[in-house]
Structure 1
Amino acid sequence: MIFSKAKMPVIFILLNLVLFQTKAQQSKLSPYAPGAVEMASAYQLSAKLDTALRNIPTNNDIVPYWKKDGSAFWYKKNLPNRTWEYYYVDAASGKRKLAFDHDIVARNIEKITGKKQNPLKIQFAELYFAEQGNTAKIKIQDNWFQLNLSDFSLTNTSDTTIYRYFAKKALQQRRSRWQRNRESPKSPDGKNEILIRGGNLFVVDLKTKAETQLSTDGNAGKPYGDFEWSPDSKTIVAYKTDPKEIKKVHYVLSSVPGTTRGELKSREYAQPGDDFTAYQPYVFNVSAKTAIKVDADPIDFFGPPDLHWRSGSSRYYSYEKVDRGHQRFRVIEVDVLTGKTKNIIDEKTKTFIYESRIYTRYLLKTNEMLYTSEQDGWQHLYLVNTLSGKQSLITKGDYVVRDIDSVDAIKRQVWFRACGMNNREDPYFIHYYRIGFDGNGLIDLTPEKGNHSLSFSPDRKYYLDTYSQVNVPPVTALRLTASTKKITEIEHGQKEAYLATGVKLPEVFVAKGRDGVTDIWGIVCFPSNMDASKTYPVIENIYAGPHDSFVPKNFLPASEMQSMAELGFIVVQIDGMGTANRSKAFHDVCWKNIADAGFPDRILWMKAMAAKYPNADITRVGIYGTSAGGQSSTGALLFHPEFYKAAVSACGCHDNRIDKQWWNEQWMGYPVGPHYEEQSNITNAAKLQGNLFLIVGEADENVPPESTYRLADALIKANKNFDILSIPGMGHSDGGIYGRRRKRDFFVKHLLNAEPPNPNISK
């Protein structure tokens, strides 16, 4: 279990000892306190370093564009100062070469287009290497050319046929459960067509045009609709609907060019507790003209689902149902002759089922299906017999199946990605695997330490594996899929160019969470010119949304965190309990408890970090975040004022009742209970201590702007001091360039007690 009361006193004793030692160490140091001139210089150096770092290429994401036969691919390699070259790789040998002579091709493009070309910035709208013959087809602006790869000459071509194949992620694209069926009114045998008139269901004989009415109880208020034919064209599954109007939210664009009045914008936006349209399934026998109400509750959450018919049968179909409140997931089978149902899968939980992480794949020929579940405490893959409902575990252990790449029903293998399987690594590092349906034959396709991104050739004979860590540059290797043997390294990044700028690469830090057992992972960004005799305020970049984990895992020499650190801060990011991609128990901390935001773990982590790094001054801690991070950063001042002293909160969802229904009910539950109000920043506004800066875009269509304005109203009524910035025309954002500059100024003023440069004073 995450919480262990027996261990808590021990934790506090250890923490007090750590804090005592930390204070003793820091008593020998003095706070970093820059003057106006030094502060202005820090801003300039931060901007210069940020620019220098971003002009050094990382090649974190090599994207291969494969030939149709899978024998070769090309890719674009980033070079310094935002330039690039194109490379061509023969897959079998691993030999890599420049795809063409960039200087000659640039000159030839100049001749055709009349526009000057930089050989290291050639841009193609399309590039395709022919399967046979030493040629390629390229599209420049709207014109197509054939490139002779022997002399690099260009000729006009009318043949624009190309083969596109690339994959940034080896993930299967699957349809959201929010998306409705694609209705086809015509029957599979082509003889009949469905017609909805006056809310009732009719069938039209396409040959005779004769109409047959199948339902009589529908009307405009509660119509039939959202239908689907059985494979044999004898049965129609349709839904009688009880429509509910989705309520609207509004905002005003204050500064539309060419106008003198604000422009009102309105849109549908469901909030927690709002009513949804309900769909009661019926089955209609076309020839017998009969209707049977399916023995199942109406679908009152999501729309009509996909139907999965048994292979070779039109008598049974199954569908997925997630109950509102996210505490029950079912796969329900329906007998269309009787309307009776049975549950193939019926999973229940006292907390939540993370609906959008459920993977299902139906193996109709063998009456099986694959699906993922956290029922044993970790997200794992199961094989289910759809006739008996019997389940068998495919993957097993204290790790998380993150997603499914593909399924080979013939070889009975599943290809997936997971994290936490390698005990001596960061448990968030993604690795790719394949395994048999019986749970045997596990193969790690990505054995090297690091966070991996993998893509296959069209025939899956080869794959590219790119991996890195926040402070270890990326490597891209070409491998054989069958054996995982490495053919060659395509790219291998180096640190030297980054370190030459003087930057300190992020450091990974791990400390125990609130239970004294669980490891909490995060990163630390230090100023490049940190004075060992000084202490520096700590700023946390927070996003604690329960839908994922957020601490970067790929190579990260340049970031907003590093840029802020250069002003005289130690900037950190942490994944506390309540976020995803760890155990179910770790995740469950967020259940009806979003205000927790993992703060007990974050605070312990920073205290432990300060013990290791005495230059970190945790008596001056700031925090910033956007969206859910905006909610949490304000919550830090309201609920943990003893630790956090300043916060910048952009477009925060400050009350979960104001925010979007689908996200908040997933974690806060349904129906809306008193815990929604108890955890609201607005309800708790009078508790504010410390310094708060609110940022909101007036055109935010993700989190309604009134969430921030209502918080401001509550703070005013509580007679609290705070700053607020409303940006005309801006949507869901941290404030853009202007907002980010104001955020830095705010922390400089309130944590460093320094004066930021004033842009209103001309130089």
Structure 2
Amino acid sequence: MLQEYERSASLAKKISKAYTKTKVDPQWVGEEGCFWYLREFDDGKHAFIYVDPSLEIRRPAFDHELLAGKLGSSAGIEAKADALPFKTIDIDVEKEVVTFRAEGKKWQFESTGSVTEYEGELSAGRLQPLQEEIISSGSYQPSAIRFRNEKKVSISIYWIDGTGIATFYSKIGPGKEDERKTYHGHVWRVTYTDSNKHIASYEAGTSWQWAVIEESLDSATKNISDSISQAGERTHSKYCRSEQPSKVFLYDNNVWLYANEPENTKITESGTKEQPFDEGVCQSSDDRFVVIWQYTPAHGTSVYRLESSPEDRIQPHLKKKQYLKAGGKERIDRPRMFDLVERKEVPTEDSLFQNPYRIKDLGWSKDGKEYRFLYVQRGFQVIRIIGMSTLGQVRTIIEESSTTFVDYYQKYFNQEIRSTGEIVWASERDGWNHLYLYNAATGHVKNQITKGDWLVKSIDKVDKENRKVWVEVLGAVEGRDPYYSQLARVEFDGSDFKILTEGDGTHTWAWSPDRKYLIDTWSRTEVPPKTVVREAETGKEVMMLEENNMAKLSELGLAKAERFSAPGRDGKTMIYGVIIRPTNLEDDKKYPVIDHIYAGPYDHEVPAHFTTFPDARALAELGFVIVQIDGMGTNWRSKSFHNHCWKNLKDAGLLDHKAWLKAASESRPWMDLDKVGITGGSAGGQNAMAALLWHGDFYKAAVAKCGCHDNRMDKLWWNELWMGWPVEQSYEDSSNVVHAGKLKGALMLMVDELDDNVDPSSTMQVVNALIKAEKDFELVVFPGKGHCEGEGTDYGLRRERDFFVRQLTDKKPPKWNEIEQKTGEAEKKE
């Protein structure tokens, strides 16, 4: 068995060496369509490519051989032409000059061959740190940041959400890189891993960019989100700004008016320490009226995490974080309007925005007679755009409601067209996520912009002047996979709908600064990426840039990951997934199946694009067939498909998983459905354990990692969106803790000691319930690790693999302690 483990461990490394995804991340030169990109090769080498789409030119950005030689002779830097010691450049095409940073210095290379130190600034492709950290905006435009750590110690990356809370995403070692898919306007914080000291924060731009964490970079951004995070609330002033100097100020929790006379005027008496006014002031264009929010602060649950083994001390360290959980007391905002001439509040009625989860400032109307804001009802069943007139009238401009949930965090979109008094709005009211055009004055729908049994996933751009919108669509091409993403353009009136990214697969794209060209990359599960330049107006292919192949992967004996679809629980709704088999599969043998699940309803798990699945293949190499399946209740299909999760997270689409697996095995007799395991992390950890509680006749073993096992223990926004509010019986019905006594099969629980995303106590409460029910299980705790970090370590992966080998095969894992002991003795003898 040891040889199989060694083959499994080496396979992931071989895959990494055999295949490097050639991603074209254009770094634009000037404001037109010219750009350069870094062409990375399978063996870690790279080259810089320059492209001019207007002339259909693709060539080396400079003479790599000449530069490598001159670096050695002129700068004393040893370099190879196919592995230059830098990965970003500035390029001046006309002057034929390239500037870059290497060995801690800036250099300039001229086509004549001279290499000299450079005194200017380097900027190409780089994000600059924010001077002051802000919270993420609600943008829908896809973007990416590639972090490169040039420090000698590890750094950690955190996403700052729309409430100011920091969520850990990854750790980057010295000299390493990590790319984060994100959206324009989203904010990312970088800290030292060991001390958590803030280094810098970055706001994602409209396209892919570098964030280079240089050795000298330290405390570059003033961190203001810590106070927001600790308070558990969002400061209204981040949203509500006035271009004019404010005529009011806050003092002693109340609103005061600046006056020319000797004394300022107090215009409110209702402000208290328990219900103060927010510092944000929304002032009308004529300066007569202002809107200020009075609020009741949030009161969150404190999550305590005991760091048992700190690196800087012997004694344990207790960490505390404010963390609003489902059913907790959210901040409640109440916009109030004041007439500064009359020096008093304009009375307004609040029945249309009672019990808010969130209220968001949308500013004043063009004529300055109506203040507008977004209202999201607690429980996410109603969202409204509300208008509050200077006469005190309050009206609903747009309302979106559902008997289940309105998918606010994934599908809310609102774009005002001020020049025409219109609003572009996203809605699932016809069963699919589509765009609608509203008359803001009347609140009536003028027309539906997009329509059909497919959906709009995101809005790329709204052209207000030319009345066009570019959208990312899923399933818009009949007969193709409904998860394939493509770019389309449509007129405001719904006419002239056109797909701009041809190619049977899922697409990502980047615009040239002048929007004349698209850099379009597409792939499928079984087809490696292909990247082309397209005319943005017509979608016509201009030139090929890169096309990958699987030649080296095939040499490793890897079969293509197979995308498979079959009807789900209802016998008609198609369910999609992938099948990954071991390299040495024999058709006349039976192989246990492991279902890798993540049924968190905010997304779908199964990749529609090409990926090598290194971890899944390493597990498969031990004699398993690995599958990933998107069952009902996951996102980005029809509204009815999504609704299966509502008040029913224990469902997890598992009935669809079972139907899909049975259909797949009919034509694949080597899939042994008598030996099915399941594994998942975070929401997938909850799903994996639920499989043994509710489907223990089918699933025989589960590894549940960093799971939320009772949704009352987890973050408010995520759980109330899918489970509703108030917290009631459905939470108990879906709780793995409450139903722990139903456990069948073999269970391994994994938990990270310092998880600040899912409370580690959620796992320990399951442990307590299982012990009380006298159930057998295994528990692996990772000291000092954050959310799902420990599970991805070599030790975590090995424990998971050992567990499935023991539970689903007739083999036994190696005796690791003996192997390690022999290794230790050998090292001592040497």
Q: Is 1:82 aligned with 2:44? A: yes
Q: Within 5 Å, which residues of 2 pair with 1:598-609?
A: 598-609=653-664
State which of 406, 420, 439 in structure 2 corresponds to 1:385. 439
Greater mean deviation of Cα atoms: 271-280 or 522-531: 271-280
Would the alpha carbon gap of residues 44 and 584 (structure 1) be closer, same or farther in structure 2, given more than 3 Å must change? same
SS at match of 1:92: helix
Rounded Cα–Cα distance in structure 1 between residues aligned with 2:58 and 2:485? 27
Q: Is 1:737 aligned with 2:737? A: no
Aligned-pair distance for 1:247? Answer: 2.1
Residue by residue over 1:232-285, the C-alpha shift from the partner in whole angstroms, topping out at 9 and shown as x without a partner, is: 322110122222322211110000124232100000111111112212211111
Greater mean deviation of Cα atoms: 288-297 or 72-81: 288-297
Give the letter aligned to residue 331 of structure 2.
T
Equivalent position of 1:101 in the other structure: 63
SS at match of 1:55: helix
Would the alpha carbon gap of residues 747 and 161 (structure 1) be closer, same or farther in structure 2, given more than 3 Å must change? closer
Equivalent position of 1:348 in the other structure: 401
Equivalent position of 1:198 in the other structure: 252
Rounded Cα–Cα distance in structure 2 between residues aligned with 1:724 and 1:353? 37
Q: Is 1:325 aligned with 2:374? A: no
Would the alpha carbon gap of residues 186 and 587 (structure 1) be closer, same or farther in structure 2, given more than 3 Å must change? closer
Equivalent position of 2:623 in the other structure: 568
Q: Is 1:274 aligned with 2:355? A: no
Greater mean deviation of Cα atoms: 43-52 or 379-388: 43-52
Would the alpha carbon gap of residues 179 and 486 (structure 1) be closer, same or farther in structure 2, given more than 3 Å must change? farther
Aligned-pair distance for 1:219? Answer: 2.1
State which of 157, 161, 173 in structure 1 corresponds to 2:118. 157
Equivalent position of 1:55 in the other structure: 17
Equivalent position of 2:488 in the other structure: 433
Residue by residue over 1:138-164, the C-alpha shift from the partner in whole angstroms, topping out at 9 and shown as x without a partner, is: 23354322221x234322222216454
Equivalent position of 1:173 in the other structure: 184
Equivalent position of 2:53 in the other structure: 91
Residues 579 and 626, structure 2, Cα contact 8 Å, conserved in 1: yes
Equivalent position of 1:494 in the other structure: 549
Equivalent position of 2:264 in the other structure: 211
State which of 392, 396, 400 in structure 2 corresponds to 1:339. 392
Residues 143 and 184, structure 2, Cα contact 8 Å, conserved in 1: no
Greater mean deviation of Cα atoms: 173-182 or 371-380: 173-182
Equivalent position of 2:305 in the other structure: 251
State which of 459, 464, 473 in structure 2 corresponds to 1:418. 473
Equivalent position of 1:70 in the other structure: 32
SS at match of 1:580: coil
Give the letter aligned to residue 119 of structure 2.
S
Q: Within 5 Å, which residues of 2 pair with 1:710-721?
A: 710-721=765-776
State which of 58, 71, 82 in structure 2 corresponds to 1:120. 82
SS at match of 2:361: coil
Residue by residue over 1:172-218, the C-alpha shift from the partner in whole angstroms, topping out at 9 and shown as x without a partner, is: 7367998544359996444x44321111111335x888523221221
Residues 172 and 404, structure 1, Cα contact 8 Å, conserved in 2: no
SS at match of 2:335: strand
Aligned-pair distance for 1:678? Answer: 1.6
Equivalent position of 2:136 in the other structure: none
Residues 53 and 543, structure 2, Cα contact 8 Å, conserved in 1: no
SS at match of 2:237: coil
Identical amino acids, percent of aligned pairs: 35
Equivalent position of 1:224 in the other structure: 277
Rounded Cα–Cα distance in structure 2 between residues aligned with 1:724 and 1:435? 53
Residues 59 and 77, structure 1, Cα contact 8 Å, conserved in 2: no
Equivalent position of 2:584 in the other structure: 529
Residues 546 and 578, structure 1, Cα contact 8 Å, conserved in 2: yes
Residues 277 and 300, structure 1, Cα contact 8 Å, conserved in 2: no
Give the letter aligned to residue 354 of structure 1.
D
* Structure 2: gaps of 5 or more residues: 128-141, 145-180, 188-231, 824-830
SS at match of 2:465: coil
Aligned-pair distance for 1:480? Answer: 1.0
SS at match of 2:603: coil
SS at match of 1:568: coil
Larger relative CO (CA 8 A, sep 6+): 1 or 2? 1
Greater mean deviation of Cα atoms: 73-82 or 110-119: 110-119
Aligned-pair distance for 1:303? Answer: 4.8
TM-score after normalising by structure 2:
0.83
Would the alpha carbon gap of residues 561 and 185 (structure 1) be closer, same or farther in structure 2, given more than 3 Å must change? closer
Give the letter aligned to residue 62 of structure 1.
V
SS at match of 2:802: helix
Rounded Cα–Cα distance in structure 1 between residues aligned with 2:715 and 2:649? 14
Aligned-pair distance for 1:137? Answer: 2.4
Rounded Cα–Cα distance in structure 2 between residues aligned with 1:239 and 1:284? 11
Aligned-pair distance for 1:118? Answer: 3.9
Rounded Cα–Cα distance in structure 2 between residues aligned with 1:252 and 1:273? 25
Residues 623 and 644, structure 1, Cα contact 8 Å, conserved in 2: yes
Equivalent position of 2:806 in the other structure: 749
Residues 249 and 258, structure 2, Cα contact 8 Å, conserved in 1: yes
Aligned-pair distance for 1:43? Answer: 1.3
Rounded Cα–Cα distance in structure 2 between residues aligned with 1:302 and 1:209? 42
Would the alpha carbon gap of residues 185 and 634 (structure 1) be closer, same or farther in structure 2, given more than 3 Å must change? closer
Residues 339 and 345, structure 2, Cα contact 8 Å, conserved in 1: yes
Rounded Cα–Cα distance in structure 1 between residues aligned with 2:552 and 2:799? 31
Aligned-pair distance for 1:407? Answer: 0.7
Equivalent position of 2:759 in the other structure: 704
Q: Within 5 Å, which residues of 2 pair with 1:388-537?
A: 388-391=442-445, 392-537=447-592
Equivalent position of 1:288 in the other structure: 342
Q: Is 1:369 aligned with 2:414? A: no
Aligned-pair distance for 1:41? Answer: 1.5
Residues 31 and 514, structure 2, Cα contact 8 Å, conserved in 1: yes
Residues 358 and 377, structure 2, Cα contact 8 Å, conserved in 1: no
Equivalent position of 1:3 in the other structure: none
Rounded Cα–Cα distance in structure 1 between residues aligned with 2:238 and 2:261? 23
Rounded Cα–Cα distance in structure 1 between residues aligned with 2:722 and 2:664? 30
Aligned-pair distance for 1:412? Answer: 0.4
TM-score after normalising by structure 1:
0.91
Rounded Cα–Cα distance in structure 2 between residues aligned with 1:378 and 1:185? 32
Residue by residue over 1:464-516, the C-alpha shift from the partner in whole angstroms, topping out at 9 and shown as x without a partner, is: 10000111011000011122221111001112221111111100111101111
Q: Is 1:669 aligned with 2:630? A: no
Would the alpha carbon gap of residues 98 and 109 (structure 1) be closer, same or farther in structure 2, given more than 3 Å must change? same
SS at match of 1:589: helix
Residues 279 and 299, structure 1, Cα contact 8 Å, conserved in 2: no
Aligned-pair distance for 1:569? Answer: 0.3
Equivalent position of 2:201 in the other structure: none
Aligned-pair distance for 1:587? Answer: 0.4
Residues 193 and 204, structure 1, Cα contact 8 Å, conserved in 2: yes
Residue by residue over 1:46-86, the C-alpha shift from the partner in whole angstroms, topping out at 9 and shown as x without a partner, is: 22222111112343532110112324111111202222211
Rounded Cα–Cα distance in structure 1 between residues aligned with 2:364 and 2:755? 42
Greater mean deviation of Cα atoms: 219-228 or 593-602: 219-228
Residue by residue over 1:722-751, the C-alpha shift from the partner in whole angstroms, topping out at 9 and shown as x without a partner, is: 000001000111342211111011101111
Rounded Cα–Cα distance in structure 2 between residues aligned with 1:232 and 1:171? 39
Residues 129 and 137, structure 1, Cα contact 8 Å, conserved in 2: yes
